[in-house]
Chain A
Amino acid sequence: MAAANQDTTRPQNTRAIMSFLREHAPFSSMDDTHLAHFAEHATLRFYADGDEVLSPDDGVVKRFYVVKQGRIRGERHNEKEDRAETTFEISQGECFPLAALIGERPTRTLHRASGDTFCLSIEQNAFITLFSESESFRDFCLRGVSSLLDQVNQRIQSKAMASIGSSNSLDTPLERYALRNPIVCSPDLPVRKAVARMHENNVGSIIITDDNRHPTGIFTLRDLRTMIAEEKGPLDTPIRQVMTGNPCRLPATADAFEAAMLMAEHHFAHLCVVDEEDRLIGVVSERDLFSLQRVDLVNLARTIGTATHLRTLVSLRSDVSRLVDAMLAHGADSGQVVKIITTLNDVTVRRVLELNLKKNDPGIPFTWLTFGSEGRQEQTLLTDQDNGILFETPEGMTEDQVREKLLPFARKVNDELAECGFTLCKGNIMASNPKLCLSDREWDDWFIRFIDASTPQNLVYSSIFLDMRAVFGPTEPLHRLLEKVLQRIRKNALFQKMLAGNALQRKPPLTMFRNFRYLNDEKKHSLDLKRQGLAPFVESVRVFALAHGVEAANTLERIDALARKDIFDAKDANAWKEAYSLIQAIRMRAHQEMLDRGEKLTNYIDPDDLNPLDRRILRESFRQAQRLQQKLEVTYQL
């Protein structure tokens, strides 16, 4: 009787289910007719807490489920410890079991209701209908859960692309680029002569064309290198034998974005630009595209590293932001991007130090230390200064005398860094603070007190001073210091336990029911991605790293090192790295958006502003943080 009603085309309950589905991927991108098909063919099932929903013993899976209310957990038997472990959680709006249904096999994991749970379910027939008729549904099913991550990445990329597009460069047609007159040769030319021609014209590639000027191959300096290294033949070899045939080409009407994507996809540095008749009219290199952007990493780093004035450094900061956009657009993951930001920040810090040394050298060698997120190489665009100085006291001088010389210098550097966009540290954790401009002996004493006489205040500082790195000056003194510090922490179980307790202070923002737990009443709908999302990872991982003598300060590197030492299970390590990176990615995207809107950068986001997919990923990432904290609790019996 379904659609019989006249004033509303569909029954109320069908409409209600459709609007529920619309809030979740992949249904959010499906047509109404497909949603209606789902709703009209669905059954609604109830499972009380702990009820089995799907079991490997049930045989080939015949139904497709969507959680309407409650949660489903995947249960795996841990043989080592003889207990059931939760391997995944499926919450409201999520589907299961995709892989088993498509693979026409039984599920491999026991699915159990976690709390009272309602599921909408359709039979295989209805599933097949949807699968064959709805492209977005098919896409989703085939790509499974991994597609979630792809979708996030795609979205990050397209957002970044949009902001690049507004600066009107990557969507410029290729013909408007200053196409260099391409250097060409015929297929029979010996390699030696072709290379000579490249050399004369100071280019890195030569296009091989036939009589009609159709490109038939490309030969680059890289090919030359391979040819010589692998002894592919003498330099008299005709070039057609060593060229890369059928080179990538685009019409002149294509835009720079297409070119960039094609290059990124195939890892080609050069593209032929052709006319309608496939005749060569130019060559575009990766360098051409990015030099227009002025965001080439190497180039930018060089420009910063050789800047002669503070104001040049200040003006280059906006290029760093543009580079981040470009990096995200080209699919760099958040781990790469934060490292690049840190690299550029390091270059800037070094250059500020060098410029000041030129003007006013205090005459005492020192190591410029950086702490906290910069120490971990995990900086985003929102960054403040956490730095200090480590020096070796020259003979005949007291430490205070050294400080007298170094502190004014450090003050100037701190101020100039602030001008470059590194906010002054509110807690005065800066090299110009006499308490943080210390000799090797003083630092050592400082850490002894820090570790042996732990006070709650000390522990607050652990996230800063235990993630330390040298940015400028000799690194050996820091290495010696770190060795002693790590040794002491390894021996001090009490300190480890206190650190662990401290790391558990910040809980991931999830309620018992796996909803988001908001910051506080005042910021009703905001989550602090840094303190609530990233910090649980950073702090838990730090405890494990310090306890096991891992010297790296970077969280991802620490996780890797801990996995190599078998402290972390390899699968867990991957899940945690992924979860951490995804929160970081969402945070960076939020930062880019705030920049676009000209707002002050914060780490707060309202999960309601996220699309359902990101919300789901964020929730799963927070759950991984909870798991990591649980490991910490078990290890230190907290």
Chain B
Amino acid sequence: MLEYIKQWLARRRGGTVGEHDAANLPSPKTVGDQPLSRSRLIVLDLETTGLNASKDEVIAIGAVAIEGGVIHLNDQFDLILRRPELDIRETVLIHGIGPEALTQGYETQDALLYLLEWMNGDPILAYHSAFDQKFLEKTLKSQLGYTLPHVWMDVAELMPAFFPKATIKGRGLDDWADVFGLEISERHHAAADALVTAELALIALNKARKNDVKTLKELSEKLHYQRRLQHMHRY
């Protein structure tokens, strides 16, 4: 894989975002006893051309970092990818990224390298994370040949795990945002959605602290338990 990246670096052209040391990309962290209060967590949201991971593509990446239980706004990621060849007519209404903005975005490979460096291998949180994980992994593989597994956690699971009694209308990001009166500055803008997801995560982490969930491992176990609980309810 590294060979591939080196080759690619040799022939890349167009807009760049800094210099990338593709040979030394940070390695993904694993779930362990790292205290949540000191961990850096990535909260990510993707905008895509559609819902089908096998044929649709990522067009924007927004992410913010939570560190020490706080969202650091100087540590965020807000990029539109340069994918002019993509047909986005179907979803342009939802996310508002028109063909023009797409052509002004960044070289996909460049942006992805930058993302990997920026994420620094830290655990990734997303709302309905399976969706984002599938798209991001597919894109990383096809563009960079990158296949290392990252830790993913689903904020859509995190919320009911810590607020089982909350009355929500549906299961979407908007529903939880409504419960806590959060405003989304621009819905379906990757960075804005990522921020509101991160705000929800802060609320959940605050509750986790009070419930004595202190490490990443404990948090992961709590989610595991939540999944089993839901599974049981299904039968």
Q: Are A and B interaction partners?
A: yes
In the complex, chain B residues whose CB is within 8 Å of the CB of A116: 180-181, 203
B185 and A16 form a contact (CB under 8 A): yes
CA distance A6 to B183 in the complex (A): 26
Give the A interface residue count (CB, 8 A). 28
In the complex, chain A residues whose CB is within 8 Å of the CB of B206: 46-48, 51
- Interface assignment of A229: CB less than 8 Å from any CB of chain B: no
A43 and B186 form a contact (CB under 8 A): no
In the complex, chain A residues whose CB is within 8 Å of the CB of B80: 5, 7
In the complex, chain A residues whose CB is within 8 Å of the CB of B114: 1
Chain B minimum-CB-distance residue to A513: B181
In the complex, chain A residues whose CB is within 8 Å of the CB of B181: 69, 116
Quick one: given A12-B189, A44-B70, A46-B203, are A5 and B79 in contact (CB under 8 Å)? yes
Near B by CB (< 8 A), chain A positions 16-50 give 16-17, 19, 39-48
Quick one: given A13-B185, A16-B192, A39-B73, are A48 and B207 in contact (CB under 8 Å)? yes
CA distance A43 to B74 in the complex (A): 8
Quick one: given A6-B104, A13-B78, A118-B199, are A44 and B17 in contact (CB under 8 Å)? no
Quick one: given A1-B118, A13-B185, are A44 and B73 in contact (CB under 8 Å)? yes
- Interface assignment of B176: CB less than 8 Å from any CB of chain A: no
- Residues of A contacting B: mostly: mixed
Can you report 14 residue pairs joining A to B where beta carbons are below 8 Å apart? A1-B78, A12-B62, A12-B78, A13-B64, A13-B78, A16-B186, A19-B185, A39-B73, A40-B73, A42-B74, A45-B202, A46-B203, A47-B206, A48-B203
Near A by CB (< 8 A), chain B positions 165-189 give 180-183, 185-186, 189
B17 and A14 form a contact (CB under 8 A): no
B199 and A46 form a contact (CB under 8 A): yes
In the complex, chain B residues whose CB is within 8 Å of the CB of A6: 104
- Interface assignment of A453: CB less than 8 Å from any CB of chain B: no
CA distance A118 to B101 in the complex (A): 32
- Residues of B contacting A: mostly: mixed
Q: Which residues of A contact B (CB under 8 A)?
A: 1-2, 4-7, 11-17, 19, 39-48, 51, 69, 116, 118
Highest count of chain A CB atoms <10 Å: which of B69, B191, B198: B191
CA distance A47 to B206 in the complex (A): 7
Near A by CB (< 8 A), chain B positions 38-93 give 62, 64, 69-74, 76-80
In whole Å, how far is B29's beta carbon from the nearest beta carbon of chain A?
A: 21
CA distance A45 to B66 in the complex (A): 10
Near A by CB (< 8 A), chain B positions 115-144 give 118
CA distance A15 to B73 in the complex (A): 11
A14 and B73 form a contact (CB under 8 A): yes
Chain A minimum-CB-distance residue to B205: A46
Which listed residue, A4, A11, A16, A41, touches B17 by the CB 8 Å rule? A4
Which listed residue, A2, A12, A41, A44, touches B199 by the CB 8 Å rule? A44
A12 and B101 form a contact (CB under 8 A): no
- Interface assignment of B195: CB less than 8 Å from any CB of chain A: yes
Chain B minimum-CB-distance residue to A47: B206
CA distance A42 to B75 in the complex (A): 10
B199 and A13 form a contact (CB under 8 A): no
* Ranked 9 nearest A-B pairs via Cβ: A16-B185, A11-B78, A46-B202, A44-B71, A12-B191, A43-B70, A42-B73, A7-B104, A13-B195
In the complex, chain A residues whose CB is within 8 Å of the CB of B203: 46, 48, 116
Which listed residue, B71, B74, B186, B198, touches A12 by the CB 8 Å rule? B186
Chain B minimum-CB-distance residue to A10: B78
CA distance A40 to B114 in the complex (A): 19
B192 and A5 form a contact (CB under 8 A): no
In the complex, chain A residues whose CB is within 8 Å of the CB of B210: 48
In the complex, chain B residues whose CB is within 8 Å of the CB of A7: 80, 100-101, 104
In the complex, chain B residues whose CB is within 8 Å of the CB of A69: 181-183
A2 and B74 form a contact (CB under 8 A): yes
Which listed residue, A4, A13, A19, touches B73 by the CB 8 Å rule? A13
CA distance A2 to B72 in the complex (A): 12
Chain A minimum-CB-distance residue to B72: A43
In the complex, chain B residues whose CB is within 8 Å of the CB of A11: 76, 78, 191
CA distance A44 to B205 in the complex (A): 14
In the complex, chain A residues whose CB is within 8 Å of the CB of B180: 116
